[in-house]
Structure 1
Amino acid sequence: MSSLIHRVFVKRAVTVDILRLDKIHALAPGNKWFKLALNLSAAKAAGAETLLSFGGAFSNHLHALAAIAQDQGLAAVACVRADSGCDLSPTLQDAVAWGMHLHFLSRSDYRRRHDAGFVAELASQYKRPYLIPEGGANLLGAQGCRGIVELIPGRGQDYHAVVLACGTGTTLAGVSAQIADGVQLIGIPVLKAEAYMAADIQRLQLALDHHRANWLLDHRFHGGAYARLSAPLQEFMQGFEARYGIRLDPVYTAKMASAVDCMINKGEFAEGARVLLIHSGGLQGRRGYPQLL
């Protein structure tokens, strides 16, 4: 077993392991380095001097981008969904300490982040900018996430299912292109995304030239909203951490782990099944939940 893959539990004859991406890359743990690596290479090849992206006050993506930009000697600008007079979150405090400039956007302006004209106007204010979409959700981000599978022996051929949390679907698209044949990939959306996420993943797969029908999205476990930590989810999360010694984040991996536990309890995995969870990091975001500190 890979040193990054740990046995978590065996329950109802289902074996559950976890790939600890939270243990890799100090500056950009979890899936963030995989999403950023090829974007960073493209930025350098284009002669860019400024990395420009979008995110919220506790964005794991912006946190990783700020750290990587400082390490690589590049300027970084975060277009943040927040009021300019607000207190900075611990995430944004870190980003500013690492040299990232914060460009605050109102909620209405932030909703225009996919408007090419609006983004071009923002980018024109900075020196030789290179745009990385919110969450690293582009083709290069998906291509980079193929590398996650290289950390799984046999590209996961010994598992019946691989499960990961989904915010944009970018990681799932990359993993889907690389995972071994016969493995079922299950994405757990962490927000209400029935109307668009599957289509977004299919577009990325088309761009990757790897349109494989080896995945599904299970929309039962988003909890009603992005970043919502309900009392039952908090109870599950804290019990999981106490029992197995693996810290989760409340936005992504707690929902994923809770989903798998629920599916096992309902008998949705066959007896003898082997399931691999992908821990996508995000632990710095726990600072947004005082009840977890």
Structure 2
Amino acid sequence: MSTESSIPRVLTVAGSDPSGGAGIQADLKAFSALGGYGASVITALTAQNTQGVRGVEPVSAAFIAEQLDAVLDDIEIDAVKIGMVASLEVAEVIARALEKRRPRWIVLDPVMVAKSGDVLVDDVGIRAVRDVLVPLADVITPNLPEAAVLLDAPTPATMAEMEALVPGLTRLGAPYALLKGGHLEGAECPDLLATPERHEWLTAPRIATHNLHGTGCSLSSAIAASLAQLGATSVDADAVNAIAEAKRWLHTALEASDRLDVGQGCGPVHHFHAWW
């Protein structure tokens, strides 16, 4: 765990986005924007841009394990963000490495459903996330379709239906679950945070923008960076405040996204809106 005077060290375990808006590139930007030192383990190479994904080249489980060992043997990591994991073998490699040298915080963004609604992983991949990685995590950040896939349930269409999913999510094993309600219609984006002590709605006005590329990656990474700055004696209220602060940061990054003018499709958020 970081001392009070040191910069928190945060690791992303995720795929690469050469256009810079999602994946490890977005994660490292979010870590830096929120005062963390970022390290990365790449699970897949992608050929993608703001208009879509053209190809994916997975990294072997053996080389993912080698990357994890290289980082964790040398750097004391305060928090880890895990992104898309499509196979049981890779999930087990990640779990073994993090159980051996467990950081204080593990944040899992269970990326399983594309914005088109298509499920990105097969049944084995879904079970790997649900049964191997969710119990390992301290915080999970599913959107509504991903929560529905995890629980084999219909996708919620109302805030009441979101609340009905929470007991099932918490039974999967992660102490904190941030159920993201951006798929709902309305003037606000309601996220529901379930903690060991309470449930709390975190809402923000909906922003009229097409620059949504990498928002899930950026939010989960911001949460990891915010949690990494908490002391060893942090309590539930501290964790809730850190998660809420990460959501506020993303909201402002979305508001400022038009300043970037990147790409011809769905552009990225402005990670460094407070600095540039």
The structure with the greater share of residues assigned to helix is: 1
TM-score, normalised on structure 1?
Answer: 0.29
TM-score, normalised on structure 2?
Answer: 0.30
Tell me which structure has the larger Cα radius of gyration. 1
Q: Work out which structure has the larger RCO, using CA pairs closer than 8 Å and 6 or more positions apart in sequence.
A: 1
